[in-house]
Amino acid sequence: MDIVIIGGGFAGLNLAKELLDHKDVHVTLVDKNNYNFFPPLIYQVATAFLEPSSISYPFRKFFAGKKNLQFRLGKLQRVVPEENKVILHNGELHYDQLVFATGAETSYFGIENVKKNAIPMKTLNDAIVMRNTILKNLEKAAICKDMRERRKLLTIVVAGGGPTGVEVSGMFAEMKKSVFMKEYPELVTAASNIYLIDGGPTLLAPMSEESQKDTLNALTDLGVVVKLNNRVLDYVDDTVFLENGETIQTKNLIWAAGVSAMIFEGIPVESYGRGRRMATDEYNKVNATNNIYAIGDTCIQLTDKNFPQGHPQVAQVAIQQGLNLAKNFKLMLKNKPLKAFEYNDKGSMAIIGKNKAVVDLPKPKMHFKGFFAWAIWLFVHLISLITYRNRIKTFYNWMIAYLARDQSLRMIIRPDKKVKTPKETSL
- 426 burial class (0-12, 13-18, 19+ CB within 10 angstroms)? exposed
Q: State pTM to two decimals.
A: 0.91
Please report, for residues 55, 112, 206, 249, 368, the alpha-carbon distance to residue 72 in angstroms, rounded to integers and kept in the order given.
21, 33, 36, 44, 43
CB 63 within 8 A of CB 19: no
Same-domain status, 160 and 203: yes
Residue 93: is its pLDDT beyond 90?
A: yes
Is 78 among the domain residues? yes
More confident residue, 363 or 112: 112
Is 234 among the domain residues? yes
User: Could you tell me the maximum CA-CA distance found in the chain, to the nearest angstrom?
Assistant: 74
Is 375 among the domain residues? yes
Residue 273: is its pLDDT beyond 90?
A: yes
Same-domain status, 270 and 286: yes
CATH number of the domain at 280, please.
Answer: 3.50.50.60
pLDDT for 419 equals 46
Is 245 among the domain residues? yes
Residue numbers of the domain that contains 359:
112-259+348-404
Number of domains, the chain: 2
CATH number of the domain at 400, please.
Answer: 3.50.50.100
Same-domain status, 329 and 356: no
Residue 160: is its pLDDT beyond 90?
A: yes
pLDDT tens readout for residues 296-329: 999 999 999 999 999 999 999 999 999 999 999 9
Same-domain status, 19 and 157: no
CB 250 within 8 A of CB 192: no
